[in-house]
Amino acid sequence: MSVRRFDAEYLERTRTGMWSDSRGALADLDLADCERVLDVGCGSGELTSVLREETAGTVIGVDADAALLSGVPSPTVLGDATRLPFADDAVDLVVCQALLINLPDPAAALAEFARVARGRVAVIEPDNSAVSVESTVDTEPTLARRARELYLDGVETDVAMGASAADLFPEAGLSVVSTRRYDQELTTAPPYSEGALAAAKRKATAAGLADRADVLGSVADEQEFDRLRQAWRSMGRDVIEQMSEGTYERTETVPFFVTVGEIRPSA
């Protein structure tokens, strides 16, 4: 099983604005007391930026993708989540966001986080099985749910990782401090951004489904996938029509769980 890769456009679209409404769910990270923090799997650096705003210490972005990492302000380090290029007890805190859910062996990564951290480890992971969509286009919530169900049935990692991440902590030598839920809301409303307009065009051509055809096709037969694609295009045309009238609105809610653990003292 391979690690899923994401481009900068996807990461910006899904992560930009996260924590802009409230950072209360990050309270148990004890960021104010940290001198060194690792943001592992930082991607294009959205969480890295938030962490740097919340602490006077040094926040180091770590990612295995050099292209993504090149856009993140230093300090950054190229590295794999399961083989971090840091000594034992090198930092106060290790954090990741939407990383474990995409790894074939999340427990191995969590153990590596615990090796490197001398204080706390925090994982911010979604429950992608509980994502909800509301839309002024009546067919969009149902189609979005069906496409998501097919996609999640076809991937091999734990799609509900956020809700159960705490179960992995004891084996990694971590005591769970807390788990807090944070709902990320991705809202589309007038005036529409360039990104929203581009997303509508992708719906009208079913380009998003085409990008996931290898996974969707593994769980849906050809006829079902074709019916979904046709309905998706029709829905996209309705979205574009409502946008032209200035009446289209959409809210996607993604539940994230912030699980914080402390390094257990050695016996």
pLDDT digits (tens, 9 = 90+) for 55-111: 999 999 999 999 999 999 999 999 999 999 999 999 999 999 999 998 999 999 999
Q: What is the pLDDT of residue 1?
A: 42
The interaxial angle of helices 222-245 and 140-154, nearest 10 deg, is: 140
Q: Is the pLDDT of residue 43 over 50?
A: yes
Q: Is the pLDDT of residue 41 over 80?
A: yes
Give CA separation, 192 vs 183, 197, 198, 199, in Å.
Answer: 22, 7, 10, 11
- At 40, which helix (H) or strand (E)? strand 36-40
User: In the structure encoding, which two tokens stand for residue 137, read together?
Assistant: 């286009």
pLDDT tens-digit profile of 109-131? Answer: 999 999 999 999 999 999 999 99
> Which three-class secondary structure state does DSSP give residue 177?
strand
**Mean pLDDT in residue range 202-229:** 83
Q: What is the pLDDT of residue 85?
A: 97
**Mean pLDDT in residue range 142-154:** 89
**Mean pLDDT in residue range 218-246:** 92
How would residue 245 be classed by pLDDT, with cut points 50, 70 and 90?
A: very high
Task: Tell me how far apart the alpha carbons of residues 4 and 81 are, in angstroms, rounded to a whole number.
Answer: 13
What single-letter DSSP state applies at residue 233?
H
Task: Tell me how far apart the alpha carbons of residues 143 and 235 are, in angstroms, rounded to a whole number.
Answer: 8
Q: Which residue has the tokens 């899923």?
A: 4
Q: What is the pLDDT of residue 36?
A: 98
pLDDT tens-digit profile of 5-40? Answer: 554 454 455 555 678 778 999 999 999 999 999 999
pLDDT tens-digit profile of 151-176? Answer: 888 888 888 899 999 999 999 999 99
For 116, phi then psi, to 5°, come to: -80, -30
